[in-house]
Amino acid sequence: MVRAWLLSEEKILVPKFISLEELYKTSGIEYYQIDINNYENDPLLKNLIEQRDNHNINKVEGLDDTDLINHNTEHFHEHDEFRLVIHGSGYFDVRDKYDEWIRIEMIPGDLIVIPGGCYHRFVVEGKVEEYKGLRFLKDYGYKAFNRPNDELECRKAYMRRLYNGAYDDIKQ
């Protein structure tokens, strides 16, 4: 089971954990559990790929220093991005509608859908050369926009969805 909590600039001993429902409502992040031993044929994953047209699959493994810098730099993409952990673990940090960081701990089988326009970054836990994951993208227009880039329409549309309650109904 995935865990998510608010990150604080202050040193606190006990993190404030949040539910998947709260994660979705405040950031639009969707969480799914995928059969890691048969993810190529997992019906839920196949359905998500078809519904969202995220057919472009990139392997993320054996990260080097440049990869780590790019993944750990706060950015967003124009379209939804799916991230599935295959081996190892890591943390996705996402900005919520209050511009606070939420840390999402991910282990094999965890899949998140990051909405287009949502600022995020990724940190590998443990040995980076052992991490393996998959990124599911649209077949077109994949580009990272580093912060700040709030004037882009995809970012504005994402913020409108957050503040207008588009993520109030749970999809999971």
Q: How far apart are CA 134 and CA 40, in angstroms?
A: 11
Structural domain contains residue 31 = yes
63, 69 contact by CB (below 8 A):
no
Q: pLDDT digit string (tens) for 75-122?
A: 999 999 999 999 999 999 999 999 999 999 999 999 999 999 999 999
Residue 39 CA from chain centroid, whole number: 18
Decide if 141 is inside a domain: yes
Q: Is residue 3 part of a domain?
A: no
- Domain assignment present for residue 135? The answer is yes
How many structural domains is the chain composed of?
1
**In the sheet that 30-33 helps form, which strands lie side by side, from edge to edge?**
30-33, 110-114, 81-87, 132-137, 56-61
* pLDDT at residue 143 is higher than 60: yes
Let me know if residue 59 belongs to a domain: yes
User: What CATH number did the domain enclosing 68 receive?
Assistant: 2.60.120.10
Record the tokens describing residue 88, joined without a space: 């190892």
Spatial separation of the C-alpha atoms in residues 4 and 17, rounded to whole Å: 6
Q: Is the pTM of this model over 0.75?
A: yes
Residue 127 lies in a domain: yes
* Residue 41 structural domain: 18-163
Summarised one tens digit per residue, pLDDT across range 37-68 is 999 999 999 999 999 999 999 888 876 655 55
Judge whether 8 lies within some domain: no
SS3 state at 169:
coil
Secondary structure percentages of the chain, helix, strand, coil, to 5: 25, 35, 40
Does residue 93 lie within any of the structural domains? yes
